[in-house]
Chain A
Amino acid sequence: MNEIGQYIPFLIPLAIAQVVLMVVAIVHIVRHRHYRFGSMALWIVVAVVFGFIGPVVYFVFGRDRDE
């Protein structure tokens, strides 16, 4: 696994981008209690478990359009 260690400087920005995406989604989910479908718990699980696609799915399909 030492070989992977040398790539950590390259992996950090990638991880930051993914975490930012997740945090923005979770903040949005918590602050807007109305969704097109699903509940707050469902969307938080989706955003956390499906690291990269989850937040995108939430913003495209889950967010209530009129806000």
Chain B
Amino acid sequence: MRGYAAFLGKELIEAVRTYKLFLMLVIFGVFGMSSPLLAKLTPQMIASVVSPELAATIPAPSAVDAWTQFYKNVGQLGLVILIIMFSGVLANELSKGTLVNVVTKGLSRGAVILAKLTSMVAIWTGSLVLAAGLTWVYTQYLFGSNALPHLVVSVVLLWVFGVFLLSLLVCAATLGSNNWVALLITVAVVAVGLVAGIIPAAYHYNPLSLASQNMALITGTVTLGDLWPAIGITLGLIVVLVAAAIGIFRRRVL
């Protein structure tokens, strides 16, 4: 436990010194601020760039559009950046051999994996809360209201999906010693999920629904009840992936 706490501290200091924390907060902060602004200013931009006639045919933007932009930015590009940012989670230290020292001095390998996961989840949580909070504040000012159902739940679902991706990334990272291996496996699994999305009924069970059905949940075309199987499967997969990551990491050569 002390090893875990010490290694977690080291991970967080590393996140600060390598600018990872700073980058994540600035990027997600920009996403959070720009989403409602983009929704609000789209008609004006079309009016000045294309033609006022076309802009007049577009319905006036609302808080729903602001959150649609939020899920477009954070739920797609944001998750891509999250994965790329942390793709070197194990590879950097494996290639430098710096883990050998601490592990031979008695730090358990499970603690290494858990501490790395904890620090990534903490940074993801902070970034997502910042982005969602800024979108909430901006939407409140620009559109006067945030009165949308399931707003918090849909953000929590996106958070769960982010944690799932990070667990997947850590598990994939234990399989190779190059950050491209981790990145490729993660992308491959997401691609499988995207292909499964072709089957209409699969969204009940697809973990990807947690990052793609958020607006459907807010607008009411999908209910939380529809997504329970997907939520359960995702949570189960997180546990399995973390256990697998620790199991594989215990057996591998550092």
A-to-B contact residues, CB < 8 Å: 1, 3-4, 7, 10-11, 13-14, 17-18, 20-21, 24, 28, 52, 55-56, 59-60, 65-66
- A10 B19 Cβ-Cβ under 8 A: no
The smallest beta-carbon distance between A11 and chain B, in angstroms, is 7
Contacts of B44 in A (CB 8 A): 3-4
Contacts of A60 in B (CB 8 A): 84-85
User: Chain B: interface secondary structure?
Assistant: helix
Contacts of B96 in A (CB 8 A): 66
The smallest beta-carbon distance between A16 and chain B, in angstroms, is 10
B-to-A contact residues, CB < 8 Å: 18-20, 22-23, 26-27, 29-30, 33-34, 37, 40-41, 44, 48, 81, 84-85, 88, 92, 96, 138, 141-142
- B29 A24 Cβ-Cβ under 8 A: no
Select from chain B the residue with minimum beta-carbon distance to A20. B26
With contacts A4-B44, A10-B142 taken as known, whether A24 is within 8 angstroms of B37 at the C-beta atoms is: no
With contacts A7-B37, A14-B34, A24-B22 taken as known, whether A56 is within 8 angstroms of B142 at the C-beta atoms is: no
27 contacts between A and B (CB under 8 A): A1-B48, A7-B37, A7-B142, A10-B33, A10-B37, A10-B138, A11-B37, A14-B30, A14-B33, A14-B34, A14-B37, A17-B26, A17-B33, A18-B30, A21-B23, A21-B27, A21-B30, A28-B19, A52-B27, A55-B23, A56-B23, A56-B27, A59-B18, A60-B85, A65-B88, A65-B92, A66-B96
